[in-house]
Every structure is written in C-alpha cells, then in structure tokens.
Structure 1
Amino acid sequence: MCSMIVTVTFVCTLIITPAIANDICTANALPRVPASQRNLHETFQRTSLLYGLSTIGNEYLIKQECQEQLQLFQLGVRTKMPWAVKMFDASASLEPGFTFGHNFWLGNSEVCSAVSRQTHVQISTYLRHQMKPELLTEVAPFNVDFRVLYLRHNSSWQVDAAVIAFASRLHVGLCLPSACTAHEVQQLVQAYLSTDLNAANEFYEMNLQYDYAKDLKLKSTTFRRTSFYLTCFFLATTIALTVAASLLRKSQDLYKANANIRNSRSTNGNVLETTNTSGATIKPHKSELDLNVTSFIACFDFDANWLHVFAPAKVEHTFAALNGLRFGSAICVTVYHYLMFLFHGTRNKVTLYNYQAYVGNVDIFVDIFFTISGFLQAYNHFRNVKLLAVIRQNSLKQNFKLMGLHLFHRYLRLAPLYFLTIGLSDFGSKLLDDISVFHIEHKVYENCEKYWWRNVLLIQNFFDHNDMCGLWTWSLACDMQFSILATVLLFLYVKHPKRKKLCLAALTGTSIAYTYTFGLKLNFDQTIEATFTFLTEIYTHPFARILAYMCGGIAGWYFVVQKPTEWHFTKQIQHFFDYLVALIFFGCIFIPTNHNFSVFTSTTILLFERIIFTVTSCILILSNAHGRMRWFFRFFETTFFQKFNRVAYAMFLINPIVVFALPGFSRSNLYANPLSLFAEFIGLLVILVLLSTLLTLLFDIPYQNLSRLLIQYQMRKKVD
C-alpha cells in the first residue's frame, strides 16, 4: 500500500513540474512594469484629473475615437513622449491654497496650444541647452482643445465668507482631445468623481459635482444680441454727428471768411445782397436758413466740447472745491470697485478680503455724492429769483408742467452715457462669459434681458440687488429718485413752507425707522460680509440713503436764504473746530468696525455714523462757501481736480466695466499684494481718465448742449 502511494506521488510530481517550469519561463519572458512606474500611474490617477479620466474610459461612456485618444495620451505619459508630457503639464492638478479660497486649478492654455502645433522660440544653436528639442517640435497625433470645467463642492475645509466671489466652485483647466464632445467629457468626469480616485476630493471631503464646462470660444449668438445692435447704432450715429459737426464748423468758418471778404469789398455796409461779376445774386449760407438743424449738429462739435471740458479752471468760483471733491470721491469709489472685482480672479481671496474690509467704511462713504447733489440742487433752486416768482404765480397744473420739464432735461443729460454703459455691460458680460476662464457669478446679461425696463425707469434699486442690470448703477437711480422728490418739495416750499417742513420730518422719521427695522430683522453686525449679503436693504435702498440728500438740500437752502451767523471766537478756537470737523469727516470713513456689539447697537452705530458723516460733509461745504478751511480745500482746488471734474460722471459709470475686464480676460489667476495692486491701479486710473474724457466728449457734453438748446428754444418761444 505504501509503495503504491509513493508511486502515485512520483507520477504527479513528474506531471506538475514541467507546467510550473513553463509558467516560470513565461513570466521571465514578459516585460516587467517597474515599481516606480506603477507608483507614478497610481499617483497621476489620484492627482491629475485628465490622467484619471484616461483610466476609466470605456465604450459604454464615450465613443471609440475619444477613448482611443485618451488611451494614447496615457501611454504617451507612461513612455514620456514629449507631446503627452506637454498635454499632461497643460492640465490642472491640485494647487495649494484651497483652504483659503483658492479654487482656480487652471492649468496652462499656452502649453495646450503647443501640443497640436509646433512652437517657434528664437534660441541659439551654439549655446548649450538642457531641454529636449522635441518639446518645441513634436506634436500630438490628434487635435486638442483647452477647456475649463466647473465643479461644485461643499467642503467645510475652505473659508467661505458670504461674498459672491467666495462661491464654492472649482475651476479646472484641461487639455482634452478635440474628438471628445462636451457630453462625453461630462460622462467621464461624473464617473471619475463617483469613485474615490481623486485625492483632493477625498482628503478635503469636497463631494465634487460636475456643473458645466466652457470651451473659451466666441459664440455667434453674442453678436446677435439686441444690446450689440443698439450700441453699434448709437456709436455710429454719434460718430457720424461728430464728423458732421466738424465739417459744419469748417464750412461756417469758410462762410464767415468769405463774408468778411465781401464786406470789405462792399462800399455800403448795409447791403443785403452781394452780386458777383456775372450779375448773379449770392444767397445766404444754408446754416442761416436751417438754424434748428445746424444748432442740433453743432452740439456735437468735438473742438468746442473739448474747449468746454478743459476750460481754464476758475478757482475763485464759490464751489470750486466741490468739483475736486467729487472727482476725488470718484477715484475712491474706483479703488473700492477695483478691490471688489479682483475677487473673481484672485487666488489669495482672504488677503484681498481683508484689504477691502479696512480700506474704508463703504456703508457711509457714498453719502458724500448724495450730500453734494442735494446741496447743489437746493442752492441752484433758491438763488434763481425769477424761477421762484414764476412758481408762486403758476397754478398747480403749470407747476407740474414746469417740474416735468425740469426732470426731462435732467434725464436727457444723464441718459445717453448711462444707456451706453448698460449696452456695453450687457454685451461685454456675455462676451466675457464666453471666453473667460473664470466663472461669472453675477451674470449681468441675464438680468439685462429680463429687467432692462427697471434701468430705463431708474427704479432698479427697489428690487433685489442680485437682479440688477449693472449693480453699480443703484446710486444713479437713487440720485434721480431723490431729485424728483426734492423738486416736488422745493416747489412745495415756495407755495407752502410749513408743509415742506412736515414732509421733511416725516421722511427723516421714516428713514430712521426703516434702518432700525431691517437692521434688527436681518441681524446686521457692521461686517463687510453683512453689507454684501443685505445689500438691497442696508446699502442700495433709497430710504437707507435719503438722509444724506435731505441734509445737503437743507444746507443749500441755509446758504442762500439765511444770513451767515457771526461767531466771535478766537483764531485758535476756530482752527480747533476746523481740524475737529476734518478729523470727524475722515474718522467716519476710516474708523475700524467693531463686531462685538449687539445687533441693536450695531444698527444704531450705523445710523449715527451716517448722520454724523452727512452733517460733517455739510459743514465742510458751507465752510468752503464762506471761504473757511482754505488749508483743507486748497488740494481739491488744484488744476488737476478742476480740469477732470467733468469726466467724473463717465468715470463712475465706466470704471466697473474696465476693472472687471482685468481679471476677466486673464488666462491665469492673480496674486494680490499691495505693491502690485498700487502699480496696477495707477495704470488703471490713467486708462479710465483717458477713456472717460473721450466718452464725455462724445456722449455727455453733446447732450448737455442739446438740453441747453431746447431750454433756449422754449424761452424764445415764450418771449415770442
């Protein structure tokens, strides 16, 4: 029995041994994958989204062509083929700074362009280089496109200030084969993210979800928008009128020269007709026959408008400093817009957020514009003795007609440049949304399509700020609404002074009650985060801003109607109060906010800051009018501020468009630091002043001239 068992065991051993030997030989014959390459494969699969997509593609998700090209890319990376290395390098991977808001994994679009075409770099063939020459010459066997994927996350490992630019959305730039359609890419990304392959997704607990993708190419639909056609028509019409005005000016100069020659040759200075050598009568110039058309075209005379804008500064003017103060305030607003719009393309968002939080008290700073506007409206109204007499004599119907004419002319002066800005914003935002690598959270063009009529009526600030077509235009709407209300109250004051005082008291109480109601309801705590979140209620609503306009109007009335009060103080005490007013004015702007107070206290502080800042601004305006505090206003009366005061309106309207274009057209994210921000802002300011000057000459001054022309025509009509 034992011998039989031994025999069977021996036979089995003889049978199995050749098979094992054969397997060993076969294994030795197959090429081994180095451990380092296997490690690289696993690392790339977990860190590079493009490489990870190439490892999960199959015929059920994508078409064969796309799958084959992705597999070819994967093989090229493993074998370190130059075109594949460039394609890998051009695609995004995890970047540092995620915890502080860095969501821009943009890759490199220029390197992606070099994947499918040769790159020409001027280098010497006689100098030694370490690089592989194939990096410049070798191209992929298929076409590639650079695309940006937008992935949402809900990670708690990232600072998420409640500001629009802190949106939880990753920007991932990939150099993908052109054969892969948008739908196929979406399928691949969703399949990849559903696994635990991506290291960043797993480590930061992102729970990434595919949102959408962009190919960064122009869309024909962008150039078929109504705003594009209207803007082009408006530009072409204005330029044509400007050219016509220039030709008309030359023809008028020629006609005047010929008339002077004829007058010098005439023996009778009262001759109405001049006869040439053939006996024919020389008729008057056409400009004398078509006075209305000629006058209309002359409003667009570029040379005359240039002289008007850059006329010699009149420093002796009563309110010369206000012109400088308005232009200086426009520069400060531009600084704030610059910091705000840089959020969309900055990788150190928290740092920039802190810059913005401490640059100034934005909650109250813009009140300076409303205070100046209210002061000037009341001042111009009460110093016009003839107008006051007409209002007293007119009936209610006549006064309503007069108010309507006043508001029409104000709208005519503001509307052209304002409408041009809206058109450029609508078209420009759609263009930017097509080709920018950054996601645009506040899509202006969508709001303009739906709510353009609100901007036409200047009532956009009554609605949610997220629905505004041009968020920065809220102050223009407020100013127009305050102007309408002030016009009614000023007319009412001439007829019934006591009723106006009751109206002012009611408006003051309403504004205070409104601020407390919404401050307590929304838990306002004076942070910049709360200001952005409750922008509609706390910042842009007319009831939140009306106190500044009313206070300015009262100061204008006081300056014209009331006699200046003589205060018998020593010079030291007068200087002390002057410095105190200036200190309070700047203190209200730059005072750091304290977040340790209760909601009621924070709301009260906000209200008192607005009141104190507005009253201080009025005191400064009156001091300037009475020739006081020359040391303070001398800076704002300089030639620079006086000459560029007229472009402040255009600068206010156009600066957000230019500022937003800086990060919008960039192909990479920005890093904000004080030195680079300062240098860039200086260049931006120069561009804005030049552009605002051109827009003022073409779209602002001509329509102001037209408004004056209509007023003169109405006055002549009344006289006739």
Structure 2
Amino acid sequence: MFRAWALLAFIFPVVVFSNEIAFDSQNVSTDTKNIVLPNTINSKLDDSIATGIEPIYPESWLANLFYQSLVGFSVTDVGNSACQLQSKLYLSHLKNNSYWAVKMADSWPRYLNGLLIGNTHHIGVYDECISVHQPIQGKYCLSNIELRTSTDQNFTQYSKDKYTSFDNAWQEILGFIDYGDRYKRNVIKLGVCIPEACTSEDLEVSLQRELDRIFQAHQLTTQVKVKPEFCSTNISFFPYDTGYYVTCIIIGLLILVVSFSTVYHLVACCNGRENKPWHVFSAQILEITNIFSVITNGKDLYEFDKNNELSIFNGVSSLLMMMTIITHEWIISITGPYLYPKPIEEFYQDAHYNLFLSVNNGIDYFLFISGYILYTIMITKFRKPECNWFQIPKIIIYKYLKSLPVHVTMILLTIFIIPHLGNGPFWANQIGLDANKCKQYWWTNLLVINNFIEGGKQCLFAGYYTSLQLQLIVIGMIVVYIYGKNRKIGTGVLALMISASLIIPFALTYYSKSEGITKFNISFLLNLSESTTSNSYHYTHLYSQLYVRGLPFYIGLLAGIIVEVLKKKDIKMSKTTTLITTMVAFGLYMYVQLYSNVFYQRHRDYNAIESSIYAAIGHLNTPLFLMWCAICYTTSSYGFLEKLLNNRFSNSLHKLSYSVYLVNCTVIRMVVSSVRASEVLTTQMIFMKFIYTILTSYLAGLIMHLLVDAPFGLLINRVILGRRSSRKVKDD
C-alpha cells in the first residue's frame, strides 16, 4: 500500500497545477502544429453578429464549381507534344462515344459529394482507367487540391465546433480549423484518367488552369499538386533492378535450402536415423539440415516448460502483441479513404475515458518485461566469481546478431520486393515512400541508431523499437553487472538512470512547450504518411529516443531486484490481499492513463507544468503497475489468470513475437495501400479487419520465423555460443 500512496502523491501535482498556470495558446508550438484557438472563438462570432458584420460567401456551392471545371476537362495546351497528340485523339473519339474513350472518361468523377462530411477522397474507378490499352494507354493520377479564399477575410473567426441547420455550408470549408481530430474539409484528392504520354506535371498545369478559370470568379483560389508516384498504369511503377533479382535469388535459395532440409530430415526420421547417422559425413549433413528444417524449428516452437516461472510473461507479451497489431492497424488505416469518416472523427473528439487515445506509451509494457527478465536471467551469471566484464560484449554481440536476420530481411523486402506485389491509387506513394526511406536510411537500422533520426525518415514503420531495446539491453547489462559485483554502486547507478529518465522528459517538454503526450490524431497520421517528415517535434525528440523511453526498462530492473529480495525473505501475501491491492493499483493506473485524454480536448489552455509532469510520469505509470503485479505473482498467486497466460499456446505465440512485430506494419500497409475505393466503417467491419490483420500478421510472422529467424538463430547460437543442442540453447 505504501507504493500506492506514493504513486498518488506523485500524481497529485498534476491536479494541483492543472488550472493555475496557463499560456497563450497561439504562442505555444504543439506537437501536431495545429492551430489551437482559445475559448473566445464563439464569443468572436457573437461579437461579429452583434455588430452586423457578416462574412461574404460564394453564391454557388463547391460541388457545382468543381463540376463546371471538370465536366469538359482534358489535358490540353501543354508543352508535351506527345501528350497533346494523345489528348486530341482522346477528345475526338470521346465526341463519337468510342468505347475506349468513354471508358477513360467514365472512370473518374466530375460532381463531388460528401464534401461537408469529410469525404476527401474522390477516387473514381482505378481499374477501369488503366484497363484501356488501345489506341492509347490510360493513366490514373490522384491529384491533391487545396482550397483557399482569395480575399483578406478570415473565415476562421466565424467557425463553430458544431453548425446548425441554417448556417452557411461554406463556413465548414473556408473556416476549417485543423484541430487534429478531423479530416480536412478544404483539401480534395481527385482521381483523373489521362493519356499515358501526359505526365503528372502536365496534369497539374492543366487542372490548375481550369480550376482557376472557374474558382477565381468566386473569389476562391486552388493549389493543385500531382506527385509522379500518384500516377500509374497497368505497368509496374517500380523498376526491376539488380537489387530485385538478387533479393529474389537469395529468397529462392533460402526456400530451397529449407525445403531440402525439411525433406531430408523427414526421410531420416522415417528411416530411424534422426539421431543415429550412419557416417561422419552424414552426421554433418544431418546437423546442418536440422538447423534449417521446419521439423526441428517447429518442435522448438511447440516446446513449453510449465515449471518456468517466467513463462507467464510470455503469455503477457503474446497478448500485448495482439493489442499492438490492432493499434497499428487502426493507426495506419486512418490514412485510408473513407466515404463517411464521421465515426472516426467522433472517436477522436470523444476525449472522455477513451483508452485508445493513450496508446503513446504502449511499448512500455514490453520494455518493462525486457528489463525484468534481463535482470532475473543475468544476475546469477554475473555474480559468479569467474564471470568478468568481458562477458558483456559477447552477450551484446549475440543479441545484436540474433536480431539482425529478420531485420535485414524486412529491409530487403521493403526496398526491392514489396513494391512489386500490388498496385492501386495509393500503392506507389505509400509503399514507395517506405522503400525510399529504407534506401536512404537502412544503415541507421544496422547501426541501431534509427530511433535518433527524424520520425518521418525512419526505415520500417515501427523499427525504432528494435534499436531502442538493443540500446537499453546494453545499458541494462552494464547496470546488472555492476549490481552483481557491488550492490551499493549498482543501486546508485540504477537510481541515477531512473532519476535522469524522469528529469529529461520534464525538462524537454517544458522548454519546448510541447504537449504531455505524442498525439496520434488524424492530422499527425496523415502528415506522417503523406510526406517524408513527421512535422512533430514531440514524435522526433520525445517519443522514440533512448533518454526519454528508458524508464520502464529501468523500473523492470528494479522490479527484478525487489522480487529477488522478497524471494530470499520468503514473504507471502494472501490471495485476498493480492486481489484487492491489484484492483487498487489498476484503478490508479487507469486514472493516470486516461488523464492523457485532456490533451485531446479543444480550446483547452496550454499548461506547461501539467504537460511536463505528465511527460515524466506518463511512462512511470505502466511499469509501476506491472512491478506490483510481478510482486504479487511472486509472493502470491493470480489463480486462473496464470493458467490463461502460462500455457503452450501463448508460449508459442510469444516465440513468434519478434518476427510478427517486424512484419505486421508492412502487412497492414500493403492492405491499406491496395484499396481501390472509399469505405464506410461499421462495428462489424472493424472487428473483421482486426481479426484478419491478426491472422495475416501471425501467418507472415510464422513464415518469417521458420525461414529466417529460427534457422539463423540456431546458426548464431552455434557460432557465438558454440552449442549444438537447439533445446538447450532455446532454454537459455
């Protein structure tokens, strides 16, 4: 109970200072770079109405203006002579209702709908456009059109959070304020089918000229942008270069080796020579084939030691990995096209008791478990007199090499293979962006420093965690070694690391005037997916860096020390005490976790002290709760919950966790990037997508594990540790 009161006392300053110190929100640089207006928005509207000043809106509605611009549009009068010839041919056949020309014209929309509700994507029919081959090839392009007013009038001062039935609909468009929780009403993504000879620049110039002709007469301006990667035909956008063929050969050889090893192992098992080779040469072949055999690695995957008290953390990790996949699926799918995005907006706008909005500290669970298990396993080894500090580099190199095969495989697949596995209006841009980032910054992943570069430039969507964990393992090894040799010095070093991990986030948040959390809202995710920069100081400097995310890991080390002391003293708690204290701890945990929802509220004055305190204790909340659970598990029992988490099935899923973590984001991005049309989210559809994502991620993770992770892991075990028994190595 002492820790519970201590946690409550630690949270208390947040409540005390939450309303005392306020700053002008227009002078604060928030994470998502949104315009945060004070509580006087509606009062300004009332003042304008009282003084008789009313905004002047265009007489014709936006959809009508687009129709006037697009109804007869074609790419004409551009510098590209080939484009001009094909456009003239297209127009002449369109007048005669030729099948191929009408097919191109029929594949993209002229009259746009859903503009008020946030339907920003007007895609048309992608496959109908690119299916035209003769006499010219159809090319599909997705243009980005941003709408502005050409007058000096500031429509944002008349904006409301909710509009009534008789408000002017133009206010929703011209007065749009990006709070981060809505899709932009003043940005349109329009699909257009053009002849293949026309480039993205040709379309951009022609479309800009045609929109200006109509919109400027209504005191409106548009800015048209068409990226080359948003234009595609039925021919792959990505070249089949040397890297593609080399990667295919490597993967083909790997599949061939695994297949041959599995068949050879199966024949040896059927002939009874699995463990009794008839010749020395045969023994060497059998040993090598066993390493790459699906049979061997499948047995290791199925193995389970029910007497290992750490196995329960495997069950916790596997459950958390499923939640991580669901979170990634939601975060990535937000960037997709939606016909009716209102439910998504309402989800983000409902900032009361919304647990999903606090997922910014989701990896804290894994970091705590890593620290706890690291201490539990290594402390006995480091306390041996014959163990010296030379053992630390060997273990670190071993851990680094173990993480390398799957990581390198995913980088190669992302750069050379995955871009050729699909198409669609968004495929080349989204998948190409991932490939380009890995082409430029793959070396940061191999050097384990990719979490220190700008968030939007990191290779692999969630690859920063691998580097972060390896960096913490290096520090954790040193701390545990020092503690094993000298308890007082080790305790002081650990206390110093915990103190620094609390002070640094507080100081950085306070002096940068950032929010207390990284807000994964709609605007942030769209910026992250559409550009090469995250546009977020918080994400780049306060989310993935070692000096701000190490606190859960260090608390895990501390929990290992406390549990060890309790074991030596043979302290026990009753099940009733365990249940009650865990419920109290969970209540405090949920209070601190859900408090982060206040940072999503509109018109809320910025409070530097509040944000800084929460930035510090936000990553302390989860490990403190898990530490208490570890203490209760050691000194008592959770009964049925232990059986639910500590079993063969959850243990097998845990062994796939590393492969699943690295492949799940790529699988999700491939699904989202291959969509052809806007969708409408329903509760049933959301659950079906979650189930499908989990199943496909684990299937891809299983393939990656059997082909790469397990075989190369056994090779590394033999080279680094000099061990041949896979079972012994797996246990260690």
Relative to the length of structure 2, the TM-score reads: 0.74
1:445 aligns with 2:435: yes
**1:499 partner amino acid:** I
1:171 aligned residue (189, 199, 203): 189
TM-fit CA distance, 1:342:
0.8
Gap runs ≥5 in structure 1 = 1-42, 118-141, 261-283
Residue of structure 1 equivalent to 2:315 = 324
Q: Which residue of 1 aligns with 2:370?
A: 373
| Offset, 1:206 | 3.6
- Residues 643-652 or 420-429, more deviating: 420-429
Q: 1:610: Cα distance to partner?
A: 2.0
Shift of 1:618: 1.5
**Residue type of the alignment partner of 1:609:** G
The correspondence for 1:69, drawn from 69, 89, 92, is 89
1:612 aligns with 621
Q: Deviations over 1:178-202 (max 9, x none)?
A: 4655554444224323422699xx6
Give the alignment partner of residue 102 of structure 1, picking from 92, 97, 119.
119
Question: Hey, what's the Cα distance between the residues in 1 that align with 2:423 and 2:182?
Answer: 20
Question: Equivalents in 2 of 1:289, 1:114: separation in Å?
Answer: 58
Closer/same/farther in 2, CA of residues 706 and 558 from structure 1, 3 Å limit: farther
In structure 2, C-alpha distance between the alignment counterparts of 1:225 and 1:294, rounded to whole Å:
34
In structure 1, the partner of 2:258 is: 242
Mapping for residues 122-161 of structure 1, pairs under 5 Å: 142-153=135-146, 155=148, 156-158=174-176, 160=178
The runs of 5 or more residues in structure 2 that have no matched partner are 1-62, 149-173, 525-535, 726-732
* Alpha-carbon separation, structure 2, partners of 1:304 and 1:59: 64
Rounded Cα–Cα distance in structure 2 between residues aligned with 1:505 and 1:59: 68
Pick from 303, 324, 327 the counterpart of residue 336 of structure 1: 327
RMSD between aligned residues: 3.8
Q: Is the 8 A contact 1:344 1:440 kept in 2?
A: no
- Determine the C-alpha separation between the residues in 1 that align with 2:336 and 2:461: 19
Contact 1:231 1:420 in 2 (8 A): no
When structure 1 is superposed on structure 2, of 512-521 and 181-190 the one drifting more is: 181-190
Cα separation, partners in 2 of 1:470 and 1:355, compared to 1, 3 Å: farther
Q: Distance in 2 between matches of 1:217 and 1:208?
A: 24
How far does the alpha carbon of each residue in 1:548-569 deviate from its partner, in whole angstroms, 9 at most, with x for none? 1011112223333553556687
User: 2:558 corresponds to which letter in structure 1?
Assistant: I
Q: Is the 8 A contact 2:107 2:124 kept in 1?
A: yes
Report the 3-state secondary structure (helix = DSSP H, G, I; strand = E; otherwise coil) of the residue aligned with 1:174: strand
Work out which of the residue numbers 373, 377, 396 in structure 2 matches 1:407: 396
Structure 2: how far apart are the matches of 1:544 and 1:575? 32
Displacement of 1:505 after TM fit?
2.5
Partner Cα separation in structure 1 for residue 712 and residue 346 of structure 2: 42
Q: Structure 1 residues 149, 507: CA separation in 2 closer, same or farther (over 3 Å shift)? A: same
The amino acid that maps onto 1:687 is: T
User: What secondary structure sits across from 1:709 in the alignment?
Assistant: helix
Deviates more, 1:237-246 or 1:569-578: 569-578
Q: Is the 8 A contact 2:69 2:211 kept in 1?
A: no
Q: Is this contact kept in 2: 1:318–1:624, CA < 8 A?
A: no
1:40 counterpart residue number: none
Give the number of the structure whose residues are more often helix, by fraction.
1
2:476 corresponds to 1:486: yes
Q: Name the residue aligned to 1:472.
A: 462
SS in 2 for 1:172: strand
Give the counterpart of 1:388 among 384, 389, 408: 384
| CA shift in 2, pair 1:698/1:335, >3 Å | same
Greater relative contact order (Cα < 8 A, sep 6+): 2
User: 2 CA distance for matches of 1:291 and 1:258?
Assistant: 9
- The one-letter code matched in structure 1 to 2:143 is Y
| 1:411-442 residue CA offsets vs partner (Å, 9 max, x unmatched) | 22211111111222223564479754364399
- What corresponds to 1:138 in structure 2? none
Specify the alignment match of 1:505 in structure 2. Answer: 495
User: How far apart, in 1, do the equivalents of 2:136 and 2:699 lie?
Assistant: 43
1:644 to 621, 631, 653: 653
SS at match of 1:363: helix
Q: Is residue 2:110 matched to residue 1:93?
A: yes
Whole-Å Cα distance in 2 between the matches of residues 292 and 257 of structure 1?
Answer: 13
1:167-566 to structure 2, matched below 5 A, reads 170-178=188-196, 180=198, 184-196=202-214, 205-212=221-228, 213-219=230-236, 221-224=238-241, 226=243, 228-229=244-245, 231-250=247-266, 252-253=268-269, 285-286=278-279, 288-289=280-281, 294-311=286-303, 313-347=304-338, 348-349=340-341, 351-352=343-344, 355=347, 358=354, 359-384=356-381, 388-391=384-387, 394=388, 399-400=389-390, 402-427=391-416, 430-431=419-420, 435-437=424-426, 439-440=429-430, 443-526=433-516, 529=519, 533=536, 534-563=538-567
Give me the whole-angstrom Cα distance separating, in 1, the residues matched to 2:495 and 2:185. Answer: 43
Aligned residue type for 1:447:
K
* Candidates 612, 615, 618, aligned match of 1:603: 612
Structure 1 residue 294, shift from structure 2 partner: 4.6
Question: 1:515, 1:607 within 8 Å by CA — same for their partners in 2?
Answer: yes
Give me the whole-angstrom Cα distance separating, in 2, the residues matched to 1:68 and 1:601. Answer: 63
Q: Any conservation in 2 of the 1:647–1:692 contact (CA below 8 Å)?
A: yes
Q: Which has the larger radius of gyration?
A: 1
Q: CA offsets per residue over residues 80-129 of structure 1, 9 Å max, x none?
A: 77766544331123533445543312111344367678xxxxxxxxxxxx
Q: Within 5 Å, which residues of 2 pair with 1:562-573?
A: 562-563=566-567, 572-573=576-577
| Partner Cα distance (1:245, 1:218) in 2 | 38
Range that drifts further, 539-548 or 605-614: 605-614
Q: 1:654 aligns with which of 632, 639, 663?
A: 663
Residue deviations 1:4-24, cap 9 Å, x none?
xxxxxxxxxxxxxxxxxxxxx
